[in-house]
């Protein structure tokens, strides 16, 4: 009896139609073995006619590779992970590798479950990501390569890749110095966030290198919000002794936008009187701000690309490496720091 064939065709269906064996179909379609051109063509025609596409599962089972990479994120699809994902896809897509997404939402139990799931599915590698203020616990030894991106593993045996907060802050501060600012303030988020501390460190280093100092009164730490930026602006305006603050490095574009609004509404001209540099290069903030913000771009997409590339390389047998890799940030110039 004829098989009730309306489902997806297999090699056997193609073989039957072409009058050859399944093995021959495989060879014909993959250009392996030695077949007569006529046979190859016949198989090809049969495959086309049936709309045959090999079952990747079966392939993976044999090859021992799934051409799939798991992405395990703690922060839900957020503003920071988004560009990272784009970068990851850039690299993986080119390598014909697909992406299995799992969002643990910060729940360790969920994370364990997803990890197990991904391992069961025999992904070839893993990218662990998520915005975390501090280094996260390691997933431990796994049979596949793992890259921690945008988040850092506690274990130095793991490979972590993040952008360089400190270097970014130095870049921002040096720019403010370069445009002639004499008293530079640092407005940022909560101290408990590592980023806040690192960026302050970078600011201090840059100032010191220029023979300047960060006045403790000019370090204002609050929340990552516009409202805090506006508040901070109000505080800074009142500190004009011995000289007024004329440059502000903000720990985020949101804060920077708040600062810009606060200053403008107090009648302070940006950038003439005060130059502002933000952090993140978050377009809605950066473009929505008046004036548009000079900012530090953490190059998240590139970070994603690099992480994925490292992973692909390791999957192909290369060395994964270990330790903490810090990728440099870039300075993006806009009006908030430069007279046009």
Partner DNA sequence: AAACACACGGAAATCCATTTCTGTGGTTGA
Partner DNA sequence: TCAACCACAGAAATGGATTTCCGTGTGTTT
* Per-position x/- string for 16-55, each x denoting binding to DNA as judged by CB under 7 A, each - no binding: ---xxxxxxxxx-xx-xxxxx-xxx-----------x-xx
Neighbours of 141 (CB within 10 A): 9
We find the least distance from the C-beta atom of residue 29 to DNA, in angstroms, to be: 6
**Cβ distance to DNA smaller for residue 38 or 319:** 38
Secondary structure letter of residue 136 according to DSSP: B
Contact partner, 5, from DNA, a second copy, none, Cβ < 5-8 Å per class:
none
Q: Which is nearer to a second copy, 183 or 334 (CB)?
A: 334
- DSSP string spanning 302-325? HHHHHHHHHHHHHHTT-----EEE
Token pair listed for 136? 């996260």
Sign of CA dihedral 42, 44, 50, 54: positive
Letters for 4-43 (x = contact with a second copy by CB under 8 A, - = none) are: ---xx-----------------------------------
The DSSP-derived string for 242-302 is SS---EEEESSHHHHHHHHHHHHHTT--TTTT-EEEEES--HHHHHHSSSPPEEEE--HHH
Pick what 44 binds: DNA, a second copy, none; C-beta below 5 to 8 Å, kind-dependent.
none
Candidates 12-20, 84-92, 154-162, 305-313 — which segment interacts with a second copy by CB under 8 A? 84-92
Alpha carbons 208 and 286: distance in angstroms, whole number: 28
CB 17 within 8 A of CB 49: yes
Regarding 66 and contact with a second copy (CB under 8 A), the answer is yes
* Pairwise CA distance, residues 40 & 79, whole Å: 50
The phi and psi torsions of 136 (rounded to 5 degrees) equal -100, 165
Q: What does 285 interact with, of DNA, a second copy, none (CB < 5 to 8 A by kind)?
A: a second copy
Binding mask 56-95 for DNA (x = CB under 7 A): --xx-xx-x-------------------------------
Count of residues making up the chain:
340
The residues that bridge with 202 in the sheet, in sequence order, are none
Distances, alpha carbon 87 to alpha carbons 6, 73, 136, 162, in Å = 39, 15, 22, 14
Residue 121 site contact among a second copy, DNA, none (CB < 5 to 8 Å, cut-off depends on kind): a second copy
Give 272's contacts (C-beta < 8 A, 6+ positions apart).
Answer: 339
Residues 107-126 that bind a second copy (CB under 8 A): 116-117, 119-122
Residues 277-296 that bind a second copy (CB under 8 A): 284-285, 287-288
Residue among 103 and 297 whose Cβ is closer to a second copy: 103
Q: Does 89 bind a second copy (CB under 8 A)?
A: yes
Given CA atoms 154, 156, 159, 163 in this order, what sign does their dihedral have?
positive
Please identify which residue in 26, 40, 44, 54 interacts with a second copy, judged by CB under 8 A: 54
Report in angstroms how near the CB of residue 27 gets to DNA at its nearest: 5
Residues of this chain that bind DNA (CB under 7 A): 10-12, 19-27, 29-30, 32-36, 38-40, 52, 54-55, 58-59, 61-62, 64
Residues of this chain that bind a second copy (CB under 8 A): 7-8, 53-58, 60-61, 66, 68, 76-78, 82-83, 85-86, 89, 93, 96, 98-103, 116-117, 119-122, 143, 225-226, 254, 257, 284-285, 287-288
């Amino acid at each position: 009896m004829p098989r009730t064939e309306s489902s997806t065709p297999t090699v056997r269906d193609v073989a039957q139609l072409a009058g050859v064996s399944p093995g021959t179909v495989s060879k014909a379609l993959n250009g392996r073995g030695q077949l007569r051109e006529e046979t190859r063509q016949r198989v090809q025609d049969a495959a086309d006619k049936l709309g045959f596409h090999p079952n990747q599962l079966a392939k993976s089972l044999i090859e021992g590779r799934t051409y799939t990479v798991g992405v395990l994120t703690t922060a839900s699809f957020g503003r920071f992970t988004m560009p990272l994902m784009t970068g990851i896809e850039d690299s993986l897509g080119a390598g014909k590798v697909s992406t299995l997404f799992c969002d643990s939402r910060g729940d360790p139990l969920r994370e364990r479950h997803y990890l197990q799931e991904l391992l069961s599915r025999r992904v070839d590698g893993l990218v662990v990501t998520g915005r975390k203020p501090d280094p996260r616990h390691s997933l431990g030894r796994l049979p596949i390569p793992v890259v921690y991106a945008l988040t850092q593993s506690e274990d130095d045996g793991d490979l972590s890749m993040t952008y360089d907060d400190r270097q970014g802050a130095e870049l921002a501060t040096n720019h403010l110095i370069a445009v002639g600012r004499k008293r530079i303030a640092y407005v940022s988020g909560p101290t408990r966030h590592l980023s806040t501390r690192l960026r302050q460190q970078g600011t201090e280093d840059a100032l010191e290198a220029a023979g300047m100092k960060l006045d403790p009164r000019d370090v204002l730490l609050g929340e990552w919000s516009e409202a805090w930026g506006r508040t901070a602006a109000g505080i800074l305006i009142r500190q004009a002794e011995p000289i007024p603050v004329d440059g502000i490095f903000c720990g985020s574009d949101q804060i920077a936008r708040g600062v810009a609004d606060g200053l403008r509404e107090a009648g302070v001209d940006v950038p003439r009187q005060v130059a502002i540099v933000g952090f993140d290069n978050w377009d809605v903030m950066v473009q929505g701000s008046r004036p548009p913000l000079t900012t530090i771009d953490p190059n998240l997409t590139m970070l994603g690309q690099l992480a994925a590339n490292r992973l692909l390389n390791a999957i192909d047998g290369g060395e994964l490496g270990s330790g903490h890799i810090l990728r440099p940030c870039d300075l993006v110039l806009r009006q908030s720091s430069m007279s046009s």
